[in-house]
Structure 1
Amino acid sequence: MAGRTIRANGLLCAAHLALMLAAGPLRAADEVHFGKGATFQAYGQLSPAWLSFDDGKDRKRVFADNDNSISRLGFWVRQPVGDGEIRFNFESAL
């Protein structure tokens, strides 16, 4: 049973490490152009962390996010209208 626990914990740690290495700031995507001058641009940032604490009695493991700059995804939609432009922005924390 101990061998299974070690192997399971090792796989779990490897999966979390791979996730953290793959995550990082997302570059703003190139604008996608539609008819009549409309554009769409997506952007975002992922900053997850895996925290593990073991004091010899209890073990705690949690996912965390950076409080100074949380993970988020968003997009801009722009549509020229006459001499002006209509802009719509949506952004959501994850």
Structure 2
Amino acid sequence: MTSCPRCTFETVDTLHSSPVPGVWDVLQCGRCLYTWRTTEPARRTQRDAYPEGFRLTAEDIANAPEVPTVPPLLNEIQHSQPVLRSRAAAPSLPHPAE
């Protein structure tokens, strides 16, 4: 049974598996949302090797400040702002020395 190396939560989901069966899986913790690939080194996949400064407990998560919102997708930002012309399409300006 795999548990989260960051917070020791027992519910870990497989997000994706390699196209070649059995090579690697991408796992995600159901509590802290930590995500890792099974082929990563022990410091990313095993609790006893995970850096102490980054370990979390259930209490740490419960008392964490509000999680910031995810910013809008880049294409949403681009559609809401005026389109800038490329430099090649801009009129040429004389060089200051001319």
Query: Normalised by the size of structure 2, how large is the TM-score?
Result: 0.25
Greater Cα radius of gyration, structure 1 or 2: 2
